[in-house]
Structure 1
Amino acid sequence: MSPPAALLERPEPVTEAAEGPLPGPGRRILIVALNYAPELVGCAKYTTELAEDLLARGHAVEVVAGPPYYPAWEVSAGHSGARWSREVVNGIPVHRTPLYVPRQPTGVRRVAHLASFGLAAAPAAVAVARRFRPDLVFAVAPTLTAAGAALAAARVSGAARWLHIQDFEVDAAFDLGLLRNRRVRGAALGLERRVLSRFDRVSSISPAMVERLAAKGVVPGRAVEFRNWVDVDAVRVLPDSHTAYRRELGLPADRVVALYSGNMAGKQGLEALAEVAARLRAADAPVSLLLCGDGPARAALETACAGMDSVRFLPLQPLARLEELLGTADIHLLPQRPEAADLVLPSKLTGMLASGRPVVAMAEPGSGLAREVEGCGLAVPATGPAMAEAVLALAADPARRAALGAAGRARAETRWKKAAVIGGFEAEMAAVVGGRQAAGAPSR
């Protein structure tokens, strides 16, 4: 699948004058990331919040990103996938690139999609870096193709280089069956290893994923944990689950609500939710499933659940209603295919824990996800029947639900608190930028 012809053109030149020194200890950070606001889910949420929080802390930030398209896999109205553009989002200049967005993201088309961003991001990132003169270039994977653009931008500006891995896309593409050729896999993993070695820092979002970085050759001292976070002040624990959502959906007060909210794609293992629904209906359990989100797997899930009165579907909800949506749940559902274990830590877990409701997660014993859920939910094998039995057990035991939910909230406040996580990033950034400057990196 060929990228759009626009990818062969050059971006419009950036003509703004270079800015003077920042007051105080502020740094200049250039972020290269496929996904950014106004996207609401997945990596975009964390990249956007990081950028805006760093700006509030006195740093200067600019972003090179694709146009918003996720999770609908369609470029949003008001944006273009065929040209470069520039806008300001909450005070941050965002340089949008052309992007190939397939309507049906099969394996090969997904590769072309990711590659199109890497091709388009490189000239944009270099142009911004020449003017902006960043201290740090921060790239987010997915997609790994952003790494090439980040390295090029760092080279022309003398900036420190940081690659942040939200999921191991090469491993996931083959382990989940999106791509199958073993020779291609070997070549892709070899390229990934060389790319990782060129960054001053490589981070990921869980201890298990940081361990995988070491297995991929990232030397000690360069591999660091930079976990996702939750704003515990924005997601409070609601005193009960009798929210406006229940009234709008006609859910009786005595029904236990099991909620899945997020992207609906292949690696989530959403087909198990249809099995959960069937098992709960067969047991005549007082449980309703609320399935909220969009993505390529939604249509199949709707078909599988057709005729089940206990299942309700909602589109992706506004961020302003996130607290209420999470608080509508009595139980949160976190399906995941076993092949994805330790390749990604689902970002939705943070909000689930902060909401003070227990989680039922598909996670094998000893996996990173199982360790994160331990004590504040139930980890079950990656099957619909196993998840259904866990839901039934929690539905019948309100006291246990309350205890697990309280433990989850406490964990969110200690391990996932936004201010502490980004503060840790800020300290590590100072170390890596200072270390590079002390080592005699080219002056800017």
Structure 2
Amino acid sequence: MRVLFVSLNFSPELTATGKYTGEMAEWLAARGHDVDAIAGMPHYPEWVVAPGYRGRGWHEERLRGVRILRTPHFVPRPGRVSAVGRVLMECSFTLASLRWWMPILLRRARYDVVIAVCPPMQDAVLPWIYGVLRRVPWVFHIQDFQVDAAVRLGMLRIGALGRLLFAVENFFVARASRVSTITPPMRERVLQKGGVATRSWLVPNWADVASVRPTARDNAFRRAHGWADAHTVVMYAGGMGAKQGLSIVVDVAERLRSRDDIRFVMVGTGADRPRLEEAARQRGLTNMLFLPVQPLERLGDMLGAGDIHLIVQRAEAADLVMPSKLTNILAAGRPCIATAEPGTGLHEVLTTNECGLAVAPEEPEPLAAAIAALSDDAHTRQRMGVRARQYAEENLDRDAILKRMELSLEQLCELPPRQPADAGVSS
């Protein structure tokens, strides 16, 4: 297949949409498909264009078999990321990507399929036009219902702009050749927005279960930070933005400051991190440590060093996103505590499979109680960790998920499926 991805976020970003879109493209390229990507400049979660890309304009690069057509765009300043700033960034990317789209639209040779990744939903504009003009199927792959979340979180009002964005999103959902998303509740939301069940796919986010494996608790990462065997390390690792509502972790650390055996560790960056660090400093929380995003080669040891992992979301966004951090936590064989309501995909995964706990969002007392109880129960932590790894192996294997996606794409393009002899994935 000749496949074109359109995604503002892409490799080498290590988290969220950029991580999964890049890995999907690279996996297809490793299978022998011809894969291109129109992508923005790496900037997330720091909200700063990555070194090596600053000041650069449109250019091509090769990354693990994928030809990437880099597109310059506006990036809001860290700490000043607003709904308007995001819309400006996303629209600037779409407009600037015309540099690549004009020759693509005029070229005789066609792609077999185009995959537009949301967020941002504006990524669908030009794939839709291409599909109409060149009769090429296109897939609208939704990682996050961005407009719904922005409205629920108070980042965007239901005014003229909000109504317009909802209308545009529903338009693309209804007109895409296929709509794919990552959890059953999100697939239900697709149908509510005008999608058709027979044209919707479930493509869950995955874990690299071969690379991210359970490690010894007393590993190099833990020793490097001086955490003793008697310490329970409660870790949050991921983006620090408005969707997460991470102030609750500061509140819980304050409530549990008398527990000398519990250490809170926040790993990552984002628009909200400076405010969280300042809140912890003002409250004198010596039981709370902030660390930068860790290199990929340290991921396994970092996750293994945590005894309890936190997945924190605000209630308003819980059924609109599935935190990308969950997959690697499960693959690492560690239990987690999530702020999630019953009925959300996150709540169902943890409670049905007994690999973690779920408590009410935005309420510090239940979260503090759950952390204290699980900290005191090493046996339950171990049992949940075993269940977590088992779930990852059975449900989150990257190759199994992407082979199903590959088959669906080939059927959409009316191409013959690959022969069994070609079933292996090159590395």
TM-score by length of 2: 0.92
Structure 2 residue 266 is matched with structure 1 residue 286: no
Q: Report the counterpart of residue 376 of structure 1 in structure 2.
A: 355
Distance 2:99 2:233 in 1: 49
Structure 2 residue 309 is matched with structure 1 residue 332: yes
**Deviation for aligned residue 1:432:** 1.1
* Structural mapping, 1:31-50, within 5 Å: 31-50=5-24
Question: Given the alignment, which residue of 246, 265, 276 partners 1:270?
Answer: 246
After superposition, the C-alpha distances for 1:242-276 in whole angstroms (9 at most, x for unaligned) are 12122221212210111110111110111111012
Secondary structure of residue in 1 paired with 2:10: coil
Q: Report the counterpart of residue 101 of structure 2 in structure 1.
A: 125
Structure 2 residue 157 is matched with structure 1 residue 180: yes
The 8 Å contact of residues 32 and 138 in structure 1, kept in 2 or not, is answered as: yes
Question: Given the alignment, which residue of 98, 120, 125 partners 1:143?
Answer: 120
After superposition, the C-alpha distances for 1:315-341 in whole angstroms (9 at most, x for unaligned) are 000011111111111111001000101
1:412 partner letter: A
**Deviation for aligned residue 1:178:** 0.7
Structure 2 residue 175 is matched with structure 1 residue 198: yes
Secondary structure of residue in 2 paired with 1:190: helix
Distance 1:131 1:399 in 2: 63
Question: Given the alignment, which residue of 201, 216, 224 partners 1:248?
Answer: 224
Q: Report the counterpart of residue 378 of structure 2 in structure 1.
A: 398
The 8 Å contact of residues 122 and 152 in structure 1, kept in 2 or not, is answered as: no
After superposition, the C-alpha distances for 1:342-385 in whole angstroms (9 at most, x for unaligned) are 11000110001111111100001122210121111000011222
Distance 1:67 1:91 in 2: 18
Secondary structure of residue in 1 paired with 2:156: coil
* Structural mapping, 1:340-359, within 5 Å: 340-359=317-336
The 8 Å contact of residues 36 and 47 in structure 1, kept in 2 or not, is answered as: yes
Distance 1:421 1:84 in 2: 33
Question: Given the alignment, which residue of 290, 302, 305 partners 2:280?
Answer: 305
The 8 Å contact of residues 175 and 340 in structure 1, kept in 2 or not, is answered as: yes
- Unaligned runs of 5+ residues in structure 2 are 416-427
1:188 partner letter: L
Report percent identity of matched pairs: 41
Secondary structure of residue in 1 paired with 2:256: helix
Structure 2 residue 385 is matched with structure 1 residue 422: no
2:142 partner letter: I
Secondary structure of residue in 2 paired with 1:344: coil
The 8 Å contact of residues 236 and 267 in structure 2, kept in 1 or not, is answered as: yes
Distance 2:36 2:272 in 1: 34
**Deviation for aligned residue 1:123:** 4.1
**Deviation for aligned residue 1:185:** 2.3
Distance 1:198 1:162 in 2: 10
Q: 1:78 to 1:265 in 2, by over 3 A?
A: same
Q: 1:81 to 1:111 in 2, by over 3 A?
A: farther
Distance 1:225 1:131 in 2: 33
Distance 2:89 2:319 in 1: 24
**Deviation for aligned residue 1:50:** 0.6
2:84 partner letter: V
Q: Report the counterpart of residue 234 of structure 2 in structure 1.
A: 258
Distance 1:125 1:71 in 2: 27
242-251 vs 319-328, which moves further: 242-251
Secondary structure of residue in 1 paired with 2:35: strand
After superposition, the C-alpha distances for 1:221-251 in whole angstroms (9 at most, x for unaligned) are 111111100010111111x311212222121
**Deviation for aligned residue 1:433:** 1.1
Cα RMSD after superposing both structures: 1.5
Distance 1:140 1:335 in 2: 24
Structure 2 residue 271 is matched with structure 1 residue 296: yes
Question: Given the alignment, which residue of 66, 71, 95 partners 2:45?
Answer: 71
The 8 Å contact of residues 202 and 222 in structure 1, kept in 2 or not, is answered as: yes
The 8 Å contact of residues 265 and 296 in structure 1, kept in 2 or not, is answered as: yes
**Deviation for aligned residue 1:285:** 4.7
Q: Report the counterpart of residue 432 of structure 1 in structure 2.
A: 412
Distance 1:422 1:109 in 2: 33
**Deviation for aligned residue 1:70:** 0.8
After superposition, the C-alpha distances for 1:375-422 in whole angstroms (9 at most, x for unaligned) are 110000112222111111110001111111111111111111101100
Distance 1:285 1:363 in 2: 28
Structure 2 residue 34 is matched with structure 1 residue 57: no
- Unaligned runs of 5+ residues in structure 1 are 1-26, 436-444
Distance 1:256 1:56 in 2: 41
The 8 Å contact of residues 134 and 157 in structure 1, kept in 2 or not, is answered as: no
Pairs aligned (count): 407
Q: Report the counterpart of residue 364 of structure 1 in structure 2.
A: 341
TM-score by length of 1: 0.89
**Deviation for aligned residue 1:187:** 2.4
Structure 2 residue 84 is matched with structure 1 residue 108: yes
**Deviation for aligned residue 1:99:** 0.6
**Deviation for aligned residue 1:121:** 2.2
